[in-house]
Amino acid sequence: MAKTAYMTDDIFLSHDTGWGHPECAERIKAINSAIEKAPYYKKLTLLQPFIPDLEIIETIHSKNYILRVKREINSGTPHLDSMDTAVCIKSYEVALRAVGGSIALCDEIMNGDAIHGFGTLRPPGHHAEYDYAAGFCIFNNIAIAAKYLQNKYSIKKIAIIDWDVHHGNGTQHSFEKDDTVLYISLHQFPHYPGTGSKLETGKSKGKGFTLNFPMAAGSGDREYLDIFNMEIIPALISFKPEVILISAGFDAHKSDPLSSIKLSTETYGTFTKMLIDVADTFSEGRIIGLLEGGYNLNILGECVNEVISAFVNH
């Protein structure tokens, strides 16, 4: 059995987005409830988040943006940059710790103490841009993790697979000129945030290292697995990543209230097993998943369980 690290903490419950907001603390409770009941739970290496050095966040976000987030949240503002990104007085600390938890997973995997890792954290990150918050996201956890792996561990090739139902505009923009990060996104299109057309393939020396697969409303397991088999897996094999990161959103599930994609719970396990096969060949098995979206509390824990079960039972 592969050793799997799991990072979460009650601090992530403190980011209060207000009544009726889909990105709520109950998401963390639902996932952790499912994972703690799983037969593998005692075998997981449990990690805790920490507050990272701001220089780590500055690899993706401007210093002025980080200071503005702190200042506005401390002033009591209910939102950052749009009504989507609801915040409370604790949100700055929680967002910092979401980054720190992501970094803790990177260290655990790169030090060889685990092969796979998953972070049940919030706020999510893949919409956050260089200098503004967007779509429930404050800091771009997965983009910062990728930069950290490059800077601290001299990783030359990182693949980011984003299967959240919304396109990860912030992550794409972070690496669109970079040929050392292969960013792959499957997402409902047209849909929020409006980016992610097939024509967006990167810029400058990063041309060809952004792969977008816009999926029509109503697409389900078959359509997604066709893309994985015919497009994504061959692209990964060609790229030969040293580490695979997953922007693990579960809002493409057929029961999710924020999308019209029809994935089954089990398909998330299938996706993960396919990526494990690639990681075993090229990446010394190293895969890290970070929670993005997923808003049906009744199935969210089951979906994350699919991913972690694939990790643990490999």
Rounded to an integer, the average pLDDT of 65-92 is 97
pLDDT digits (tens, 9 = 90+) for 191-204: 999 999 999 999 99
Q: Which of 130, 111, 151 minimizes the C-alpha distance to 288?
A: 111
CA distance 132 to 289: 24
Number of Cβ atoms within 10 Å of the Cβ of 3 = 18
Please state the rounded mean pLDDT for residues 120-147. Answer: 98
- 274 confidence band (pLDDT: 50, 70, 90): very high
Average pLDDT over residues 202-227: 98
The Cβ of residue 180 has, within 10 Å, a number of other Cβ atoms equal to 17
What pLDDT, on the 0 to 100 scale, is given for residue 295?
A: 98
Contact 47, 5 (CB under 8 A): yes
Q: Are 150 and 178 a contacting pair, CB within 8 Å?
A: no
pLDDT band at 1 (very low <50, low <70, confident <90, very high): low
Of residues 61, 116, 126, 127, which has the active-site annotation? 127
Residue 201's pLDDT is 98
Percent of the chain exceeding pLDDT 70 equals 99
pLDDT of residue 251: 98
- Is-catalytic flag, 127? yes
- Mean residue pLDDT of the chain comes to 97
CATH number at residue 220: 3.40.800.20
Render the burial of 220-259: b for 16+ CB within 10 Å, e for the rest: eeebbbebbeeebeebbeebebbbbbbbbbbbbbbbbebb
**Residues linked to residue 231 through DSSP beta bridges, in sequence order:** none
For β-strands 45-47 and 4-7, DSSP reports them as parallel
Using alpha carbons, select from 161, 159, 165, 154 the residue that is nearest to residue 193: 165
Closest CA to 236 of 196, 275, 287: 275
Q: In this predicted structure, what is the pLDDT of residue 42?
A: 96
The candidate with the shortest Cα–Cα distance to 301, out of 37, 49, 47, is: 37
Token digits of residue 124:
């999510």
Q: How far apart are the C-alpha atoms of 145 and 149, rounded to whole Å?
A: 6
Residue 193 is predicted with a pLDDT of 96
Q: What tens digit of pLDDT does each residue of 162-176 get?
A: 999 999 999 999 999
What is the total count of domains within the chain? 1
Q: What CA–CA distances, in Å, run from 17 to 13, 79, 83, 93, 303?
A: 10, 9, 10, 14, 23
Contacts of 229 (CB under 8 A, 6+ apart): none
pLDDT tens per residue, range 11-63: 999 999 999 999 999 999 999 999 999 999 999 999 999 999 999 999 999 99
139: pLDDT strictly greater than 70: yes
- For 182, the domain range is 4-312
Cα angle value 155/173/151 (rounded, 5°) = 25
Closest C-alpha among 261, 174, 194 to residue 225: 261
pLDDT tens digit sequence for 219-267? 999 999 999 999 999 999 999 999 999 999 999 999 999 999 999 999 9
